């Protein structure tokens, strides 16, 4: 069969256009991956065998071609495993994941490739390369070292085996979380149990029941359903039951222990330590920091504990105030973790005349998107328009184009907003296609996936967002513009590629700020019935609410960050500290809310065990310092100042991973970052 015939018979191999999700079938996966890896291996062998002196044109550019092909074929397969999961698809994906991991390890340990890269560095031509080209090569050499290129053959095999196991365990961890989340539900026929829930929340639970062909209402562990109960249900018994189900997912304490991640966590921790040791690092945390802004474990731990010292006294006071309110106003004498969200919402309503439900009608999805796009146009001179007729993986998914000054499309993105069955929880941005100039000179435009899990439209009515959901939308869009507004032409430093993990959150957290500013909200808000923008009184309450229990939230994020980092910085294979003991030790140091003994949050913490945040969850707080300080320039020069926006776009977004992010930050801000803007935005006084 010719190459053309193979492509025609397998739509996954057709990378000449956007992915045709409507044609993809599980039967296409293994043949497509087999062909992809075979073609790539053949091209790598050809490049290694070249006798002429390696150059950008005869060596780097062909490598970019095969890397681009890999993203275009393998990317949609993994994406659909997350947004349209099925047992059949996941099985095929997992089978191929083993082949893909082997392939990546082979490439990272290919001595012929490594020698070619070193020969380029030693060549006269290298001195004339641009900074971006040099960065591509420097990153490649670093990645070779982190893939075990210098190891003896026997240890390279061990590295390959460890990488293979870690890849499979991470996939299994993630799938267990999804399956455990879906395995629990509570069917309710007595409406009195739902006392306190607003109509929007009850409508969601009714729709979930109808989806299961049940009468009444159904509570699930998908986040919109879970949060509705924890925020509004008057019944403490119901809140306690749902809290326990959510907090014990994929653990030995879960209602269904079939998806227990306990062994996966033990194996992942051990294998990560072995991997780091093989590469000459004392701990996995040291390995993780080799590709981050932060320079040492001491620096990270000092940063986190400094934040803890500054925020814990206020967090304790916030909790004491909340506990007293629960006792005097709600009659809750034995305040428990499942009372926190419920009581906080009541307390906010009393003290600030504000609630998520009060704000929700002001943020219809269409108005929120319109405002987001207007802000983007005012700041960056980029227009965003919807496009019809593009193949998608679900009817709810929409497709948009970013259009520049001369009416040229500079990027595109898919938007998948709503929670549903067989879709991974959380919110994320991922690359569908990276910006890149083909060796023949053709520019490949970037495309992104933006995925959220918001409450879907109910009974044919327009969906409205809570303010929390609104900030999530802006956060993921910030990742999106980082990917889409890059001006880089080389694959490995295009968009978020090559950006250190503790800097990649800068644009996303930066964009959240517009959800708190009057100038932004004037464009975003439009009441679902009246079209009225957010009134001044509500805006003032919202502004004050930014500091509402912010120290408690800060303490919680520091707790997660420290647990993650210490887990990877002080691992002792002779005396492994149990994950529950480690979590409790960190809580006693920095937390103010103590969950019950049965809590198993880490068992569903996919960021750490199935994502890219291992020994890197601190990146959220690290980048939040950068984003808050970057936004402070807008506070000084005008929230929607187009000149400041252009500066942010041209320095931070355009550069992708081509320049050290600290250099970029100082070029934008004129100085090194400081923590004061973050503390001020969080209303934490020190």
pLDDT single digits (tens) 449-476: 999 999 999 988 899 999 999 999 999 9
Q: Do the beta carbons of residue 47 and residue 59 sit within 8 Å?
A: yes
Domain with CATH 1.10.1370.10 in the chain: 262-352+550-617
Q: Give the pLDDT of residue 317.
A: 98
**By C-alpha distance, which of 359, 364, 357 is closest to 539?**
359
Q: Which residues are catalytic?
A: 476
CATH topology of domain 262-352+550-617: 1.10.1370
- Neighbour tally for 281: CB within 10 Å: 17
Q: Do the beta carbons of residue 475 and residue 509 sit within 8 Å?
A: yes
Q: What are phi and psi of 433, to 5 degrees?
A: -145, 135
Rounded Cα–Cα distance for residues 585 and 596 (Å): 14
Domain with CATH 1.10.1370.40 in the chain: 361-546+620-681
Instruction: Give tens-digit pLDDT for 346-358.
Output: 999 999 999 999 9
DSSP state letter for 432: E
Share of the chain above pLDDT 70, in %: 99
Domain 361-546+620-681 has CATH 1.10.1370.40: yes
Rounded Cα–Cα distance for residues 305 and 282 (Å): 22
Contacts of 19 (CB under 8 A, 6+ apart): 72, 76, 391, 432
- Neighbour tally for 104: CB within 10 Å: 16
Q: Give the pLDDT of residue 2.
A: 54
Q: Do the beta carbons of residue 233 and residue 223 sit within 8 Å?
A: no
CA dihedral angle for residue 456, residue 459, residue 462, residue 467, rounded to 10 degrees: -50
Strand 447-454 and strand 409-418: the pairing is parallel
Three-class SS state of 295: coil
Identify any residues that bridge with 411 across adjacent strands, giving them in sequence order.
Answer: 402
Rounded Cα–Cα distance for residues 100 and 105 (Å): 9
Domain with CATH 1.20.1050.40 in the chain: 3-108+110-146
Helices 87-108 and 153-183, packing angle to 10 deg: 160
CA 420, 421, 426, 430 dihedral sign is negative
Please calculate the CA angle 404-473-486 and round it to the nearest 5 degrees. Answer: 35
What is the b/e burial string over 482-520, where b = at least 16 CB atoms within 10 angstroms of the residue's CB? bbbbbebbbbbbbbbbbbbbbbbbbbbbbbbbbbbbeeb
Could you state, in chain order, the average pLDDT of each consecutive group of 10 residues for the chain (686 residues)? Answer: 62 96 97 98 98 96 98 98 97 97 97 98 96 97 97 97 98 97 97 96 96 97 97 98 98 96 98 98 98 97 97 98 98 98 97 94 98 98 98 98 95 97 96 97 98 93 96 98 98 97 96 98 97 97 95 97 98 96 97 96 97 96 96 98 98 97 97 93 87
H runs (alpha helix) in 192-261: 199-211, 223-232, 236-247
CATH number of 3-108+110-146: 1.20.1050.40
Q: Do the beta carbons of residue 143 and residue 105 sit within 8 Å?
A: no
pTM beyond 0.75: yes
**By C-alpha distance, which of 353, 495, 515 is closest to 430?**
495
Q: Give the pLDDT of residue 459.
A: 83
Q: Do the beta carbons of residue 187 and residue 218 sit within 8 Å?
A: yes
DSSP state letter for 632: H
| Segment holding 220, helix H or strand E | strand 217-220
Contacts of 211 (CB under 8 A, 6+ apart): 218, 421
């Amino acid at each position: 069969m010719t190459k053309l015939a193979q492509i025609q018979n397998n739509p996954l191999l057709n990378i000449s256009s956007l992915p045709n999700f409507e044609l993809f079938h599980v039967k296409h996966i293994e043949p497509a991956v087999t062909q992809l890896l075979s073609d790539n291996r053949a091209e790598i062998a050809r490049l290694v065998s070249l006798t002429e002196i390696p150059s950008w044109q005869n060596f780097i550019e062909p490598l970019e071609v095969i890397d681009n092909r890999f993203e275009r074929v393998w990317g949609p397969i993994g994406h659909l495993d997350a947004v349209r999961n099925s047992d059949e698809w996941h099985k095929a994906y997992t089978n191929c994941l083993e082949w893909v991991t082997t392939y990546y390890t082979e490439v990272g340990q290919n001595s012929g490739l490594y020698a070619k890269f070193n020969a380029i560095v030693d060549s006269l031509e290298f001195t004339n390369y641009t900074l971006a080209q040099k960065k591509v090569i420097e990153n490649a050499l670093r990645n070779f070292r982190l893939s075990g290129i210098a190891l003896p053959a026997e240890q390279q095999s061990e590295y390959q085996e460890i990488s293979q196991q870690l890849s499979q365990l991470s996939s299994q961890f993630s799938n267990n979380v999804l399956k455990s989340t879906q395995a629990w539900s509570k069917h309710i026929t007595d409406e009195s149990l739902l006392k306190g829930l607003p109509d929007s929340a009850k409508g969601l639970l009714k729709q979930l029941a109808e989806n299961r062909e049940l009468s009444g209402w159904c509570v699930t562990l998908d986040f919109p359903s879970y949060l509705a109960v924890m925020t509004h249900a008057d019944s403490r018994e119901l809140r306690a039951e749902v809290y326990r189900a959510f907090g014990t997912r994929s653990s030995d304490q879960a209602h269904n222990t079939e998806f227990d991640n306990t062994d996966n966590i033990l194996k992942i921790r051990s294998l990560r330590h072995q991997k780091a040791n093989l590469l000459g690092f004392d701990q996995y945390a040291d390995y993780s920091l080799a590709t981050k802004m932060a320079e040492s474990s001491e620096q990270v731990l000092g940063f986190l504990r400094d934040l803890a010292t500054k925020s814990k006294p206020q967090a304790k006071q916030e909790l004491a105030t909340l506990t007293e309110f629960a006792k005097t106003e709600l009659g809750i004498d034995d305040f428990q973790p499942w009372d926190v969200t419920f009581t906080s919402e009541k307390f906010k309503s009393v003290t600030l005349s504000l609630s998520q439900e009060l704000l929700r009608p002001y943020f219809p999805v269409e108005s929120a998107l319109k405002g987001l796009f207007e802000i983007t146009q005012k700041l960056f001179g980029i227009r965003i328009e919807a496009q019809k007729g593009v193949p998608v993986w679900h009817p709810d998914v929409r497709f948009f184009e970013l259009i520049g000054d001369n009416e040229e499309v500079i990027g595109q993105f898919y938007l998948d907003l709503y929670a549903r069955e067989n879709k991974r929880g959380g919110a994320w941005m991922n690359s569908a296609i990276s910006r890149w100039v083909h060796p023949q000179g053709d520019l490949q435009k970037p495309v992104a996936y933006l995925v959220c899990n918001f409450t879907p439209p109910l009974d044919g009515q327009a969906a409205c967002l809570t303010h929390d959901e609104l900030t999530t939308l802006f956060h993921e869009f910030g990742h999106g513009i980082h990917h889409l507004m890059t001006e880089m032409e080389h694959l490995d430093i295009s968009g978020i590629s090559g950006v250190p993990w503790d800097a990649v959150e800068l644009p996303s957290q930066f964009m959240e700020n517009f959800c708190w500013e009057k100038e932004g909200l004037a464009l975003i808000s439009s009441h679902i019935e009246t079209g009225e923008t957010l009134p001044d009184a509500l805006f003032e309450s919202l502004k004050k609410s930014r500091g509402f229990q912010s120290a408690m939230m800060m303490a919680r994020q520091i707790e997660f960050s420290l647990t993650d980092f210490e887990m990877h910085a002080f691992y002792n294979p002779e005396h492994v500290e149990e994950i529950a003991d480690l979590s409790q030790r960190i809580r006693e140091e920095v937390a103010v809310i103590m969950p019950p003994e049965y809590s198993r949050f880490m068992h569903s913490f996919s960021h750490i065990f199935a994502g890219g945040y291992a020994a890197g969850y601190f990146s959220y707080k690290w980048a939040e310092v950068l984003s808050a300080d970057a936004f402070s320039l807008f506070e000084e020069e005008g929230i929607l100042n187009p000149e400041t926006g252009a500066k942010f776009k041209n320095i931070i977004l355009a550069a992708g991973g081509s320049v050290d992010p600290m250099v970029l930050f100082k070029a934008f801000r004129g100085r090194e970052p400081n923590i004061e803007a973050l503390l001020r935005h969080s209303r934490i006084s020190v």
